Amino acid sequence: MRYIATPWRGTYVRNVHKMTGCVFCRAKKIKDDKGAHILYRGRHSFVILNKFPYQPGHLMIAPYKHTASFERTGKELSDEMSELLKLSLKALKKAYHPQGFNIGMNLGRSAGAGIVSHFHLHVVPRWPGDSSFMPILGGTKIVIEDLDATFARLYPLFRKEGRKR
């Protein structure tokens, strides 16, 4: 297997053992949206870039309230998350022109949740062949854009489309 440098992962790898608390709860407290990679803040939830994306534009929608239980959330939160999903799809389509999306939640460790105690919705833009050729034949995962470039591309679209809500 070949390796490709991903220097933005270095901070995470060096500090993962020091991390305490919830990544979403930490991010929502940061006043600098660019520094936290928060694309949009709603009343009950927010949109944030995934720091370890499967594809460029991979983002997550998370509630401000720290909870693992989606089924116990109120209608206001689930409705807002649905509206933020629509907003995210519009922005991602304008910025990246994907041919499809993976959208979903991993609820519980056995379902693949990396952050079990704070549910969140993943939105991943997809293109034909984006996940099979390099990992399978080349043993390499490639992400074509770093987080700051993704933020710069999406943030203005979230601002513009979010004002229309």
Is 50 part of any domain? yes
DSSP-assigned letters across all residues of the chain:
------GGGHHHHHHGGG--S-HHHHHHH-S-HHHHTEEEE-SSEEEEE-SS-SSTT-EEEEESS--S-STTS-HHHHHHHHHHHHHHHHHHHHHH--SEEEEE---SGGGT-SS-SS--EEEEEE-TTTTTIIIIIIS----SS-HHHHHHHHHHHHHHHHHT-
Q: What is the mean pLDDT of residues 14-19?
A: 58
> Does the pLDDT of residue 87 top 60, yes or no?
yes
Determine the structural domain holding residue 149 and report its residue range: 29-163
Residue with the bigger pLDDT between 75 and 9: it is 75
* Structure confidence at residue 13 (pLDDT): 56
Mean pLDDT of the chain: 84
* Beta pairing class for 45-49 and 38-41: antiparallel
> Does the pLDDT of residue 43 top 70, yes or no?
yes
Domain count, the chain: 1
Among this protein's residues, is 120 annotated catalytic? yes
* Structure confidence at residue 144 (pLDDT): 66
Is 15 part of any domain? no
Is 10 part of any domain? no
Closest CA to 154 of 53, 41, 38: 38
Tens of pLDDT, residue by residue over 108-144, are 888 877 888 999 999 999 988 776 544 544 555 556 6
* Structure confidence at residue 59 (pLDDT): 96
> Does the pLDDT of residue 5 top 80, yes or no?
no
Is 7 part of any domain? no
Catalytic site residue from 37, 58, 118, 120: 120
Is 57 part of any domain? yes
CATH number, domain of 61, equals: 3.30.428.10
> Does the pLDDT of residue 165 top 90, yes or no?
no
Q: What is the mean pLDDT of residues 11-16?
A: 58
Tokens of 127: 């293109």
Is 67 part of any domain? yes
Is 108 part of any domain? yes
Q: Are 68 and 120 within 8 A, CB to CB?
A: no
Is 149 part of any domain? yes
